Amino acid sequence: MDSSARPEHRERLEAEIRKAHVICIVYAIDDPNTFSRLALYWLPYIRSLGVNVPSILVGNKIDLRGDDVTNQSLEDEEVETCVECSSKHLLNVSEVFHFAQKAVLHPTAPLYDSRDHMLKPQCVDALRRIFKLCDSDKDNVLNDIELNEFQRKCFNTPLQQHELDGVKDVVREHEPAGVNENGLTEIGFAYLHSLFIRKGRPETTWAVLRKFGYGDDLSLREDFLLPPFEVPPECSVELSPLGNYFLTELFQAFHKDKDGALTIPELNELFSTSPGNPWEHTSFPQTTITTETGSVTLQGWLAQWSMSTLLNYRTTLKYLAYLGFEGDTRTALKVTKPRKAERRKGKIQRGVFLCYVVGAPGTGKTALLNEFVQKPLSKVHEPTTEPFSVVNSVEREGKQKYLVMEEVDAKRENEFLSSKSRLDACDLLCFVYDTSDANSFQYLVNLREKYKLDHIPVAYVGTKCDLDLVNQRYEVQPDVYCRHLKLAAPLSVSVKEHQMADLYPYLTSVAMNPSIAAPGTLKNKGDQEWLPRHYVALSLVATGAVILTSLAGYKLLKERTTLFGQQHSCSSTSIAHAASIAHAASGASKKGDYV
């Protein structure tokens, strides 16, 4: 769009400048006053409008140039480049528009400070991140293999050995610290891009930056960090095999001392290509499996990412991009089937489960979570004041599953138990009461009745079984209460004595088979018919065992009587033996009937 400097056209000129992506400011080579006016009027005027777009200085009428050179002393950040042309003789006119287009697509100003003749800090930071991502063996040098992989990724063209040597020779000549015996250093990598820009080839640097997700403002693009990823209702997100493989390889790459775990300095180095540790404001690394010194094991590393993906998959998507996942980051995740659909089938195929741990203050919820991730028991009770979740892997049916346990303290009960979205994300509730506190179980009964939680699979756990057992102040005791709901009797555990009764595998089994832990009042018709049949069948089997055992005892008595005669002592012994067998079988019958 051509413009006019006349006062009557000022309003339209300002409107067009604000819409422009690039501005060509033309001066006459044969008139030095027009060149002086650039710095005195036009550039300040454009700046005053709040417009931050590249400017191209165009010296027209090159055919009328004398001996004077008019544009040597002008330097300005907004000036992208200077071009001379002749409109009359059509000399370099096409180059004017070429450089104008180039200034929009590959601007120099965000990358390079033309006054100080150096890369800008934001560009340096971006190139440093790219260098670290390309340094596969993490030795702070790009060797020939890594340089060629970088060349392939950005330009799809490998370099020959003599070309690689030529690049390193150029760097060595001008920046000795840029090359060592192993390859190109970070200093040399930055110098190469500075050289490209100074030689008028900023498009090379921009090609690299955009390949690694950077936008025109040198920040990572939103569509690169968070590509569209739809998660239907009642579905959850897990790591795919590709995601697990990438995170395992990442662990191995930064696991320099080969001690089986990532230390805090190694974790800091791993996250140096990102905004920082994504779990910095959580209880990590207390949330997963670590060594005694607090280093994160591979098991704990993968478990922590599984929990992060389940609770907030957007964070995982972002960090896959930050950490250099090759290709579409969405392939590192997978969406599960809807929970209700899987529950109707009675079998859950997912690999990561979420369990809310609920109970009165002081019942030992935090202790249960700490025991799950093999953390020591605190000798002093400290009320939970911040959200606390832990995760670990559990082996079930020959497959590795992840169980995420999230503590729901009294202050957050309403937030969790009255929220449909929270409950939809939950696979089971772990109701915890203190077997040594007479009022502890009543607390759970009140919660269940208040929030109508019968649609969620539930498991009851009695803690502190190493202490004296007391009767709960409720109309029925916990085992009878659970029997009325057609649930398994509460598990009795003691974290202090490490008597956990296979609690965590049991909770995982409940999450995988939710129909076995749904309260009987809300089981569907098929489930109600199924439970009584199995109940009666078990009783019949046990009763049959009593009859068969009694017959066996009688037969044994008869045989002994025939063999030894009517000896009173032997008969008494045989009768007592047969009676003890029958009594044991009767006990088994009652026990089976109870189950």
Rg, the chain, Cα only: 37
Rounded mean pLDDT, 1-14: 77
Count of positions (residues) in the chain: 595
Asked if 393 and 485 sit in the same domain, the reply is yes
Question: What is the amino acid identity at position 200?
Answer: G
Q: pLDDT tens for residues 122-131?
A: 999 999 999 9
Range in 88-97, 132-141, 361-370, 563-572 the model is least confident about: 563-572
Give the C-alpha separation, 49 to 428, whole Å. 60
Beta bridge partners of 25: 57
Cα–Cα distances in angstroms (integers) from residue 321 to residues 248, 268, 318, in the given order = 16, 17, 5
What DSSP state is assigned to residue 522?
Answer: G
74 and 127, same domain (yes or no): no
pLDDT above 70: percentage of residues in the chain: 84
Question: Region 513-539: what's the mean pLDDT?
Answer: 50
Q: Are residues 101 and 131 in the same domain?
A: no
Residue type, 307: M
175 located within any domain: yes
Asked if the structure places residue 221 within a domain, the reply is no
Q: Based on the structure, what is the number of domains in the chain?
A: 5
User: Higher pLDDT residue, 347 or 469?
Assistant: 469
Furthest C-alpha separation in the chain: 145
Lowest model confidence (mean pLDDT) among 45-59, 218-232, 250-264, 300-314: 45-59
* Distance of alpha carbon 261 from the chain centroid: 19
Query: How confident is the model at residue 68, as a pLDDT?
Result: 52
What tokens appear for 266 in the block? 């190694």
Domain boundary among 50, 71, 105: 105
State pLDDT tens for residues 430-467.
Answer: 999 999 999 999 999 999 999 999 889 999 999 999 99
pLDDT in tens, 319-359: 999 999 999 999 999 999 888 777 777 677 889 999 999 99
Which three-class secondary structure state does DSSP give residue 456? coil
Residues 318 and 267 in one domain: yes
Same domain, 166 and 196: yes
Are 479 and 490 part of one and the same domain? Answer: yes
Within this chain, do residues 358 and 444 fall inside the same structural domain, yes or no?
yes
- Provide the CATH number for the domain around residue 90: 3.40.50.300
Amino acid 4: pLDDT: 67
pLDDT surpasses 60 at 552 = no
Class of residue 433 by CB neighbours under 10 A (exposed 0-12, middle 13-18, buried 19+): buried
The string of pLDDT tens digits covering residues 173-212 is 999 999 999 999 999 999 999 999 988 889 999 999 999 9
Least confident segment among 38-42, 399-403, 463-467, 485-489:
38-42
Distance of CA 327 to the CA centre of its chain: 17
| Listed residue (387, 393, 350, 359) closest to 505, CA to CA | 393
Same domain, 421 and 564: no
405, β-bridge pairs: 355, 390
pLDDT in tens, 69-97: 445 545 555 677 788 888 888 888 888 88
**Mean pLDDT of the 137-152 span:** 94
List, as one string, the DSSP characters of 312-378. -HHHHHHHHHHTT-SS-GGGGEEEPPPHHHHHHHT----SEEEEEEEE-TTSSHHHHHHHHTTPPPP
Mean pLDDT score of the chain = 84
Same domain for 283 and 195? no
Residues with Cβ within 8 Å of 141's Cβ and at least 6 positions away in sequence, in order, are 135, 180, 182, 183, 184, 185
CB atoms within 10 A of CB 67: 4
Q: Do residues 407 and 518 share a domain?
A: yes
* Per-residue tokens: 24: 């060509």
Round to whole Å and give the CA distance between 369 and 379: 15
Give which of 132, 167, 129 is closest to 148, Cα–Cα.
Answer: 167
Residue 547 structural domain: 526-594
User: Is position 501 within any domain?
Assistant: yes
CA-to-CA distance for 249 and 326, rounded, in angstroms? 12
The one-letter amino acid at 299: Q
Is residue 204 within 8 A of residue 157, CB to CB? The reply is no
Q: 192 and 62 share a domain?
A: no
Q: Are residues 197 and 248 in the same domain?
A: no
pTM for this model (two decimals): 0.78
Residue at a domain's end among 182, 216, 250 = 216
Q: What are the contacts of 372-377 at 24+ separation with CB within 8 A?
A: 372/403, 372/405, 372/504, 373/286, 373/287, 373/288, 373/289, 373/290, 373/300, 374/289, 375/286, 377/495, 377/496
pLDDT at 542 > cutoff 60: no
